[in-house]
Amino acid sequence: PAGWNEVVSAAAGALQAGGLVALPTDTVYGVACLAQDSGAVRSIYSLKGRNGAKPLAICLGDVDRLYRYCQVNVPDELLRDLLPGPVTLVLKRSEELNKDLNPFTSLVGVRIPNHPFVRELARACSGPLALTSANISCQASTLTVSEFQDLWPQLSLIIDGGPIGDVQSPECRLGSTVVDLSVSGKFTIIRPGCALTSTVEILRQKYGLTPEPP
């Protein structure tokens, strides 16, 4: 679309300057910052009033980049069967990831949203994005930019991608399915999210992984 590249570079510029950018994903609206920028990571926590012990996911543009920031113990094909898509994969983090991002855990959730803008923006930035939903902690996730108006003053840029999914449908607000793949041969569903059935089917039937209770 017209102006697409300008918007991507404006958003990348705002992130590189340490700002927070609200953007549409394939599930709900999110707020992103550069994961390797500790000051920006602190800003995202204060924006959301979020408990510092709740981890942030990282967001990448492509599966290939995942290997820099995570220790992968599943087949590459499995990653590509689930990503890009409405799934957050939890893996062991690598040394390359900012130590100030989720310093209390050796794991990290990875998102590659099936949304062209977010992927393009992630590719335009040097490191991964830290991504969280655009809402105050413990409030409902948002499907339009007007639903998180109270956060606007603290954001550097807001990308309005229009309504995501059906605003009337509670299912549309579930966010991504979060699955822990850090233990070889097993998987644990941390949050059912919006893609539970298809995710479990791929992990169990195609790859023979065993479900563990959370």
Domain layout of the chain by residue ranges? 4-211
Residue by residue, DSSP assigns the chain as -TTHHHHHHHHHHHHHTT--EEEE-SSSEEEEEETT-HHHHHHHHHHHT--TTSPPEEE-S-GGGHHHHEE--S-HHHHHHH-SSSEEEEEEEPTTS-TTSSTT-SEEEEE--S-HHHHHHHHHSSSPEEEEESS-TTSPP-SSGGGGGGGGGG-SEE------S-TT-GGGGS--EEEE--STTEEEEEE-TT-HHHHHHIIIIIT-PEEE--
As a whole number, mean pLDDT of residues 73-78 equals 97
pLDDT band at 186 (very low <50, low <70, confident <90, very high): very high
Residue that the structure tokens 């062991």 belong to: 92
> Cα separation of 29 and 137, whole Å?
14
As a whole number, mean pLDDT of residues 16-31 equals 97
Chain mean position to CA 60: 8
CATH architecture of 4-211: Alpha-Beta Complex (3.90)
As a whole number, mean pLDDT of residues 105-131 equals 97
Structure-block tokens of residue 14: 């705002």
Q: What pLDDT does 1 receive?
A: 64
Q: What pLDDT does 68 receive?
A: 97
pLDDT tens figures, 120-173: 999 999 999 999 999 998 899 999 999 999 999 999 999 999 999 889 988 889
As a whole number, mean pLDDT of residues 16-29 equals 97
pTM, rounded to two decimals: 0.95
Q: What pLDDT does 148 receive?
A: 96
> Cα separation of 70 and 79, whole Å?
12
- Angle of helix 116-124 relative to helix 4-16, nearest 10 degrees? 50
pLDDT band at 53 (very low <50, low <70, confident <90, very high): confident
> Cα separation of 100 and 36, whole Å?
8
As a whole number, mean pLDDT of residues 10-16 equals 98
pLDDT band at 51 (very low <50, low <70, confident <90, very high): confident
CB 76 within 8 A of CB 95: no
Average pLDDT, the chain: 95
Residue 30's alpha-carbon distances to 84, 102, 188, in angstroms, are: 16, 18, 24
> Cα separation of 186 and 214, whole Å?
11
